[in-house]
Amino acid sequence: MTSVLLINLAVFAGAVVSGLAGFAFSAVAGAILLHVLPPTEAVPLMMICSIATQAACLCTAHRSVDWKGSFILIIGGLLGIPFAVYALQTIDTWSFRIGFGMFVAAYAAYMLWRPAVTCIRQMNGLQHALVGFGGGLVGGITAMPGALPTIWCDLNGVPKNQQRGLVQPFILAMQVFALALMLSQSTLSSKILFDVIACLPALVAGTALGIALFYRVNDMGFRRTVLGVLFISGLALAF
């Protein structure tokens, strides 16, 4: 019973943060789930729940979706994943994760004290593709595909609705692709399916609360929330 309660608490917390900030479900939920379940069960559970949360967020923000920009981001991300697979076999990924986590945390800490960009800078297709490539490459190593696109949007002063409409489809596509790769190598056990069903109320409630908070917070509050989540995610990745 304690295990079930902890799983539901982890899923609820991750869904609230993901529904509000648009990412970081695994960074939040994993802090609890990886102490309750073995990685072979925790990782697929987080991926399934995260995809469900991302899909719900995307449905509520469908009017703000930048299909052209997101499509270019996704193509770049898919091109970056094979390089991530190669990097996993050739470089010290542990050191890379620590370094990238410290970079993300340092960036977020600095930007929390720096005034936000007030004018939106125009981003072209090549920039979208390069950011997507970097997101796919880094995401394949660190499981944080949305970090670089989110940082890029912050640097360019993209408001919250436009940012969600650009980055959300990218994160969802990367997670679906990652889950498909995982399923191609193994099958989901009945235990994972039981965990998904058991935490479904917490997932729905957390996602609904996170999305409601997203529409209540202004652009400045959303920016601070995103930077705070990036800071915590970076520290979690590094340490």
Condensed to tens digits (0 to 9), the pLDDT of residues 201-226 reads: 999 999 999 999 999 999 999 999 99
Which residues, 6 or more positions from 124, have their beta carbon under 8 angstroms from its beta carbon? none
Residue 167 CA to residue 177 CA, distance in Å, equals: 16
DSSP letter string over 135-169?
HHHHHHHHS-TTHHHHHHHHHTT--HHHHHHHHHH
pLDDT of residue 85: 81
Residue 66 CA to residue 111 CA, distance in Å, equals: 25
Which residues, 6 or more positions from 185, have their beta carbon under 8 angstroms from its beta carbon? none
* Helical pair 147-155 and 125-142, crossing angle rounded to 10 deg: 140
Q: Which amino acid is at 168?
A: Q
Residue 59 CA to residue 129 CA, distance in Å, equals: 24
pLDDT band at residue 120 using 50, 70 and 90 as cut-offs: low
- H helix intervals, the chain: 2-21, 25-36, 39-60, 67-90, 93-113, 125-142, 147-155, 160-185, 190-198, 200-216, 219-238
Tell me what the pLDDT averaged over the chain comes to: 89
Which range, 81-85, 128-132, 182-186, is most confident? 128-132
Instruction: Report the sign of the C-alpha dihedral through residues 138, 15, 38, 101, in that order.
Output: positive
Residue 195 CA to residue 189 CA, distance in Å, equals: 10
Above 90 in pLDDT, residue 114? no
35: buried, middle or exposed (CB in 10 Å: 19+, 13-18, 0-12)? exposed
Global pTM value: 0.88
pLDDT of residue 201: 96
Residue 218 CA to residue 225 CA, distance in Å, equals: 10
pLDDT band at residue 119 using 50, 70 and 90 as cut-offs: low
Would you state the structure tokens that stand for residue 29, as one six-digit string? 């939920």
